[in-house]
Structure 1
């Protein structure tokens, strides 16, 4: 992976204009069982060159644009994304 990219550990909360190069380890659909299995998002585990692991998410509306481009094990350059703090109710 290229060194010119931002490392995941260096990301701060908010809109990110930098590029992060990551490997997509796994992705899955997050569904709302209380609403008949309605799709909420496509969630994923991402890993950078320093082995920093984060969870990513594509909302249900945007998943139509990106879902067919996802391939586990592939490397992606991410840009124009939002970073938020982890919800303490969930853990990887």
Structure 2
């Protein structure tokens, strides 16, 4: 499957077969953020059942191979600021 063909959650999961279970969970949760909405690193961590892993969420998003399909730009710090996403993302 080509990156451009990804449209559904199942497509994201299949594309990310080589990632860890944690990274897949983070990227799928981020994929589900609706257009026009944002979440926080802590919010994603809580959503995947790892409430104290917000720094690990940021690390997983920094390595996002599916930007902008998985919209890591919709994840912000709890104070509303931007995190350390990749250049060009």
Considering Cα pairs closer than 8 Å and 6+ residues apart, tell me whether 1 or 2 has the greater RCO.
1
Q: Kindly name which structure, 1 or 2, has the bigger radius of gyration based on alpha carbons.
A: 1
Give the TM-score of the pair, scaled to structure 1. 0.25
Q: Which has the higher strand share?
A: 1
In the superposition, the TM-score normalised over structure 2's length comes to 0.26
Judging by fraction of residues, say which structure has more helix: 2
